[in-house]
Amino acid sequence: MNRNVLKLPFILGVPPDWICPTCTRGVLRIKKASFFKEERYGSRNRSQKDWDPEWIEYVYSCLLICTNDQCQEVVANTGIGSLNLDCYEDENGKWVQEYHDLFRPKFFEPHLILLDIPEKCPESVSSPLHESFTLFFSVPNAASNNVRIAIEELLTHLKVKRFNIIKGKRRFISLHQRIYLLPPKYAHLKDLILAIKWLGNSGSHGNGDAKGVITMDDVMDSYDLIEHILHEIYAPKTKKLVALAKKVNKRKGRMKVLSLPF
């Protein structure tokens, strides 16, 4: 995951390398003549009274096309923009000030895939993650909370009980308690899952940074953690390597040694 590609604004002539959500090999490029921007109502009104470049606000929309010739998926994209002052020294040693547009995406359809979900991951776990990807650019708090939901579903899939029966009534067990009920096989993942739980709680209650805001980096921290967890459970590399070693060892007696020209 390239964090800068996801969280930094872009200049129209230099689009980010967003990975195609369909083939995951090509990158998305803005379709020629599909990009439109308009200044927002409040921005236009201020401009008429006492214009300041920093007040400029846009909304934009465009179509993105996958560069992979075997795919060429079409993705709808919309977002916001602003005017940015760029200062630099020219070849004559003079300082130059130029304004240029910066744009931030808010929505993709189909949404980008922001982490590698193993094929064997159950839909009950992957579904809230896809919902999180949809919300990532526009509502990071909600995106973070959806990763927390995925963790709840993961524990359920791993047979961690969700409630106790007390006096004939169901009493739901908190996520924190459920994490500590993980089977010994997955005990090494407890700290990772607990970290996601804290980030998810911040997303639910809006108590992230000092201003009470969950940042994109917070959400991407959750993505990094859950990606590792899912691969440990549903696509462990050690098992793949063991299987490869067995395959090589089995073929060893039949392998021919090539005579090299030296």
Query: Is 148 within 8 Å of 203 (Cβ atoms)?
Result: yes
Percent of the chain with pLDDT over 70: 87
pTM of the full predicted structure?
0.83
> Strand, coil or helix: what is 85?
strand
pLDDT tens digits, one per residue of 149-205: 999 999 999 999 988 877 777 788 999 999 999 999 999 999 999 999 998 876 555
DSSP 134-200: HHTTT-HHHHHHHHHHHHHHHHHHTT---EEEETTEEEEPPHHHHHTT--GGGGGGHHHHHHHHHHH
Rounded Cα–Cα distance for residues 121 and 125 (Å): 7
pLDDT tens digits, one per residue of 49-77: 566 777 889 999 999 999 999 999 999 99
**pLDDT at 24 > cutoff 60:** yes
pLDDT tens digits, one per residue of 199-252: 887 655 555 554 557 999 999 999 999 999 999 999 887 666 777 777 777 776
Q: How many CB atoms lie within 10 A of CB 160?
A: 19
Rounded Cα–Cα distance for residues 214 and 206 (Å): 7
Rounded Cα–Cα distance for residues 193 and 228 (Å): 10
pLDDT tens digits, one per residue of 120-130: 999 999 999 99
> What average pLDDT does range 31-38 have in this prediction?
95
Judged on CB neighbours under 10 Å (0-12, 13-18, 19+), 7 is middle
Domains of the chain: 1-112 (no CATH), 114-237 (1.20.120)
Residues ≥6 apart with Cβ < 8 Å to 48: none
Which residues pair with residue 101 across a beta bridge? 83
Judged on CB neighbours under 10 Å (0-12, 13-18, 19+), 59 is middle
Residues ≥6 apart with Cβ < 8 Å to 178: 152, 155, 160, 161, 162
pLDDT tens digits, one per residue of 96-152: 778 889 999 999 999 999 999 999 999 999 999 999 999 999 999 999 999 999 999
